[in-house]
Structure 1
Amino acid sequence: MTGANWPGRTQKESLGFLSQVLARRVDEAMKKQLAGLDLDFRFFMTLMQLLAQDGQSQRELGSKLNLPEYQVSRNLDAMANGGLIERRTNPSSRRTTQVFLTIKGRTLAEKLPPLITDLNDRFLSVLTRDERVMLIKMLQRILSLTD
């Protein structure tokens, strides 16, 4: 691709542009879904992580969510104030705090997987089943998330 052709191809061939547009569209659709549950979008991925593995440390959550520690801490403070999570001192390391879903948090978190499935189905409806599987595998490979 030459420099002269680049501006016209930006929208059609730029991974960065296309992934940003898709991410914004998915985020907006998810925010609408979460509003129906009275759930702040910032807490969505934390709830999903804790649903998958309760009792993670704040540092583990930050690493898995790719968020800075201060942001994880602020989110957890707000989630604790909302009754969604509780922090407990790790019995084997008093300097480590583990994060657990409360009953309210677990009840809310368990409503999220069907929303995700619905959202994925809506955005991927233009693809065949094989294309969906291939796209997800390629994205996982690009992000080095493959097993």
Structure 2
Amino acid sequence: MSKKSWHHDKDKRQKWLQFMQDFHPQIDSQTIRLMDELGHVSRAIYQMGEQSVEDAGLSFAQYRVLMHLFFAEEMGERAELNPSEISDRQGVSRNTMSAFIRSLEEEGLVERRLDPHDRRRFNISLTESGRDVVRQHTRQHLGTIDRFFSVLSRDEQINLLNLLRKLSGQAAVSNSV
């Protein structure tokens, strides 16, 4: 018999709700449920991403580095990006990005070259192996995500997208305060 996850245990969720309301008694219990549900779905999608590139021996974060490079290359932006640009695109620290780049370089998926305009900096580009990994695993990853969202009708997907955009706008306003 499989053990219920915390998220699906009604009693534990009720205790969590009460625990949270003890901090802010005026909060609507539905707000806490929405926060928890969005967090659960977000983690589930991230885990699907992790699993979809696991066969390549990459973390999802490493795969995203490759994807940013591939996108910049394919869209004619540039064939190389510097580590700061990649870290900004991913929202991670430069130290974290350095570790990702180093490991991808060791795997032969990216290469580093001195910037011809500023010899103190270097740029990162994909190798052919890196491009192959992106091509192969992007199809698999997008198939996984497509199956995940197929549980929703087209109208439900549009409604969800509109609601998420509304929340995203509110998050941007809240973060700027």
TM-score after normalising by structure 1: 0.80
Instruction: State the match for 1:46 in structure 2.
Output: 65
Q: Equivalent of 1:94, from 119, 123, 136?
A: 119
The structure where strand makes up a greater share of residues is 1
Change (3 A) 1:7 1:138: closer
Structure 1 Cα separation of the partners of residues 165 and 114 of structure 2: 34
Paired with 2:155 and 2:52, the residues of 1 have a C-alpha distance of 27
Residues paired across the two proteins, number: 140
Given candidates 2, 12, 35, the residue that maps to 2:54 is 35
CA contact 1:55–1:99 (8 Å) conserved in 2: yes
| Structure with bigger gyration radius | 2
The aligned residue for residue 18 of structure 1 is 37
Distance apart, 1:134 and its partner CA = 4.6
2:149 is equivalent to residue 124 of structure 1: yes
**Structure 1 gap segments, 5+ residues each:** none
Q: 1:91 is matched by which residue type in structure 2?
A: P
Q: Would you say the 8 A contact 2:80–2:123 is kept in 1?
A: yes
Gapped regions of structure 2 (runs ≥ 5) = 1-23, 73-78, 173-177
Q: TM-score, normalised by structure 2?
A: 0.68
The root-mean-square deviation of aligned C-alpha atoms, in Å, is 2.4
Secondary structure of 1:122's counterpart equals helix
Q: What is the aligned-residue identity percentage?
A: 22
Instruction: Give the helix-richer structure, 1 or 2.
Output: 2
